Chain A
């Protein structure tokens, strides 16, 4: 590397130069943004090595279980830097999401020592944690011998960080003082609005700002645009249909899935009057303007329909809108984003979030070495590399969101994305009650929604039946 470039990167690493200025000066020297990013990343790695014994586990190998995802791709693309930094070897198995969690369950429930760390969602830790399959990571996070000072745990967005911590008590608040840190947030998704600007302009539509407007706008879009349905939301018979847009809207009305009694017992809370009103609007929206085959729609169909121009908007994971605005998608470049608060009386959005996280297997024989990998992968340097050089979106670190290079990149190609994130991030967290029957109850909730949309059961009756069933199951499990 030439001395001038070296000096520039050093100034940046010392905090004397902003990323934006760095890239401008690199441009003046004829260095492209990608090369500049790579140089910064390389020198960041060198800088990291200065203040922490990264070589402590040199020669040790760890094995990871990973889901096929852009986050995984970003990590693999940067893995050589980790190997150079630590002298460690990293092996990994990557599985598609359809079978990924079955593989995790099989590996962990058998007590396999094959994998040291793995990707997970925070909801899954509500099973893995009490089962004794994963390790409380507080022990490592708080140990300055094992965690670099530059790791800066507090830099991770509070709502996201706390959503991965639970004390194991059914109904216990996430992030409470006695909570165990079951996993480390890696990347996360808020649920907001992504819409097709061209379609909205053609049909003369305004961006909806609450659920009533969304119902109307979706209906108008369907009526005005030939062969396009109004709104994409998930509908398959799965817990995964409840947690994105649906629960974000539900929580915005101040509604809860479960009540936690003074005695710690849980009971169903989804058949209140407000909940019934909200459900009725949601059901009508799908009936009037949802995908014709809504009941089979997973995140994949919701995303690809938006990218292919089959839907006018989606209320789902924001990163679906992000990915559909690029690549070979028909509507690439035509999508825009907006924060969404379903309740007209709410002051801000309250998106429920999905967090791809890293967890450590309790059966690992190399926990300290695995933690070295985990702290590097969830650290600020890799976060910034992934966010600026790859598609590691949404990053979980405030420092990455503050980075002007990252914000400029998003603003340029993803109009409204940064604003959407900034507006809804303060209210973004897991809105569910943490408890071991999460998957049973949410899957049944999804099945009940399907029955309501198919007019097999009226909304009021369906919710009462659901609440009865939930209460019965909670009692059977000694939770209610």
Chain B
């Protein structure tokens, strides 16, 4: 034993410790990032279980699920849920149709198409809150260009975001203006990366264009469509800046989507408990939606293999 130990020196202790710790060290950055993300999340979750108003600090206590239970009998919460879903559904559907249509028009690589696709990205480079303020000016009843154009069509006194009948339409239009280019550019990239063989074969066989679109283009493009839809849906259901800048959630309660309601509860009413509970519900909705989309996306990928 002693001969052996003399012949070969014992392995360095430091190295053995390093090997044991190495996996933890390697995962440390991810762990730190995870903690950075989870701390605010857990804090919000805890706040949502409290009766917590900054203006009544003496009344702060855990009321557990009471904030959530109160939502069940609160018409304004159901209104918020409805408006948020309608807004997200409407904007994403319309943007998807428009984005796909524009992408199909610009599919062929020409100088003109490349130039137009770059120009169409301009709204996406505008901060949504600035876009909203710009549209607010354009829809101003006194001097707005859009109000003037609508009046040329014989529609007088069109009140855009000021009327409960057209407020949703107005903010949806702004959302479409800002975000359609996002879907367009994703789908355009998808269209241009599709393999050319199926399309060449279809062309040789004289297959009608509509058949090619429905049976070849659309199925092959579906992963891109799902990705674009997922991103936009998650963003749209959390809409704040456009709606708040244009109407602050009004007229009445017409546009009190989750983020606007939570913001007003937090910063204006300083009702931290209710605001946090609203945000947790919004998180749950986005979590469920993400799961649905990701599962479908994985299925499509499997089928493609």
Residues of A within 8 A of B (CB): 101-102, 105, 109, 126-127, 130-132, 227, 236-239, 291-296, 305, 310, 436-437, 439-440, 443, 446-448, 450-451, 453-454, 456, 476-478
Q: In whole angstroms, how far apart are the Cα atoms of A466 and B284 in the complex?
A: 31
B83 CB–A CB distance under 8 Å: no
Assess A131 versus B252: contact at CB under 8 Å? Given A291-B141, A296-B162.
Answer: no
* 23 intermolecular pairs with C-beta atoms under 8 Å apart: A109-B270, A130-B57, A227-B142, A237-B247, A237-B249, A239-B268, A292-B142, A292-B159, A293-B139, A293-B141, A293-B160, A293-B162, A310-B142, A443-B264, A446-B250, A447-B250, A450-B250, A450-B251, A450-B252, A454-B163, A456-B164, A456-B252, A477-B53
Is A127 touching B267 in the complex (CB atoms < 8 A)? no
Is A477 touching B251 in the complex (CB atoms < 8 A)? no
Q: Please, which residue of chain A has its CB at the minimum distance from the CB of B163?
A: A454
Chain B residues lying within 8 Å of A237, measured Cβ to Cβ, are 247-252
Q: Which of A238, A305, A477 contacts B248 (CB 8 A)?
A: A238
Assess A293 versus B56: contact at CB under 8 Å? Given A439-B269, A440-B271, A451-B251.
Answer: no
Chain A residues lying within 8 Å of B267, measured Cβ to Cβ, are 101-102, 105
Q: In whole angstroms, how far apart are the Cα atoms of A447 and B167 in the complex?
A: 14
Is A437 touching B252 in the complex (CB atoms < 8 A)? no
Of listed B70, B141, B270, residue having the most chain A CB within 10 A: B270
B146 CB–A CB distance under 8 Å: no
Q: In whole angstroms, how far apart are the Cα atoms of A131 and B59 in the complex?
A: 11
Q: In whole angstroms, how far apart are the Cα atoms of A227 and B56 in the complex?
A: 49
Residues of B within 8 A of A (CB): 53-59, 70, 136, 139-142, 157, 159-164, 246-253, 264, 267-271
B134 to chain A, nearest CB (A): 14
Assess A436 versus B161: contact at CB under 8 Å? Given A293-B140, A310-B142, A476-B70.
Answer: no
Chain A residues lying within 8 Å of B248, measured Cβ to Cβ, are 236-238, 296
In the A-B complex, the 3 residue pairs with the smallest Cβ-Cβ separation, listed nearest first, are A237-B250, A436-B55, A292-B141
A359 to chain B, nearest CB (A): 15
Q: Which of A127, A292, A448 contacts B162 (CB 8 A)?
A: A292
Assess A443 versus B246: contact at CB under 8 Å? Given A451-B251, A454-B163.
Answer: no
Assess A454 versus B251: contact at CB under 8 Å? Given A293-B140, A310-B142.
Answer: yes
Chain A residues lying within 8 Å of B141, measured Cβ to Cβ, are 291-293
Q: Which of A132, A293, A476 contacts B159 (CB 8 A)?
A: A293
A225 to chain B, nearest CB (A): 13
Q: In whole angstroms, how far apart are the Cα atoms of A131 and B57 in the complex?
A: 6
Q: In whole angstroms, how far apart are the Cα atoms of A439 and B275 in the complex?
A: 14
Chain A residues lying within 8 Å of B53, measured Cβ to Cβ, are 436, 477
A293 to chain B, nearest CB (A): 4
Chain A residues lying within 8 Å of B159, measured Cβ to Cβ, are 292-293
Is B162 touching A439 in the complex (CB atoms < 8 A)? no
Assess A109 versus B269: contact at CB under 8 Å? Given A292-B157, A456-B164.
Answer: no
Q: In whole angstroms, how far apart are the Cα atoms of A93 and B270 in the complex?
A: 23
Is A478 touching B59 in the complex (CB atoms < 8 A)? yes
A28 to chain B, nearest CB (A): 49
Q: Please, which residue of chain A has its CB at the minimum distance from the CB of B57?
A: A131
Q: In whole angstroms, how far apart are the Cα atoms of A150 and B74 in the complex?
A: 55
Assess A131 versus B157: contact at CB under 8 Å? Given A447-B252, A450-B251, A454-B164.
Answer: no
Is B162 touching A294 in the complex (CB atoms < 8 A)? yes
Chain A residues lying within 8 Å of B264, measured Cβ to Cβ, are 443
Q: In whole angstroms, how far apart are the Cα atoms of A237 and B271 in the complex?
A: 18
Chain B residues lying within 8 Å of A102, measured Cβ to Cβ, are 267
Chain A residues lying within 8 Å of B249, measured Cβ to Cβ, are 237, 447
Q: Please, which residue of chain B has its CB at the minimum distance from the CB of A101?
A: B267
Is B162 touching A130 in the complex (CB atoms < 8 A)? no
Q: In whole angstroms, how far apart are the Cα atoms of A237 and B167 in the complex?
A: 13
Chain A residues lying within 8 Å of B253, measured Cβ to Cβ, are 447, 451
B267 to chain A, nearest CB (A): 5
Chain A residues lying within 8 Å of B250, measured Cβ to Cβ, are 236-237, 295-296, 446-447, 450
Is B54 touching A127 in the complex (CB atoms < 8 A)? yes
Of listed B70, B141, B142, residue having the most chain A CB within 10 A: B142
Known: A292-B162, A296-B247. 15 other contacts (CB 8 A): A105-B54, A109-B54, A109-B270, A130-B57, A131-B270, A132-B57, A236-B250, A295-B161, A296-B248, A310-B142, A437-B269, A439-B270, A447-B250, A451-B251, A456-B164
A168 to chain B, nearest CB (A): 10
Q: In whole angstroms, how far apart are the Cα atoms of A448 and B76 in the complex?
A: 13
Of listed A102, A439, A448, residue having the most chain B CB within 10 A: A439
Assess A296 versus B252: contact at CB under 8 Å? Given A101-B267, A105-B270, A130-B56.
Answer: no
Is B268 touching A454 in the complex (CB atoms < 8 A)? no
B261 to chain A, nearest CB (A): 11
Q: In whole angstroms, how far apart are the Cα atoms of A436 and B160 in the complex?
A: 35
Q: Please, which residue of chain A has its CB at the minimum distance from the CB of B164?
A: A454
Q: In whole angstroms, how far apart are the Cα atoms of A304 and B267 in the complex?
A: 27
Assess A127 versus B247: contact at CB under 8 Å? Given A292-B157, A296-B162, A450-B252.
Answer: no
Q: In whole angstroms, how far apart are the Cα atoms of A127 and B55 in the complex?
A: 4
Q: Please, which residue of chain A has its CB at the minimum distance from the CB of B160?
A: A293
Chain A residues lying within 8 Å of B139, measured Cβ to Cβ, are 293
Q: Which of B59, B136, B252 contacts A451 (CB 8 A)?
A: B252
A183 to chain B, nearest CB (A): 16
Chain B residues lying within 8 Å of A477, measured Cβ to Cβ, are 53, 56, 59
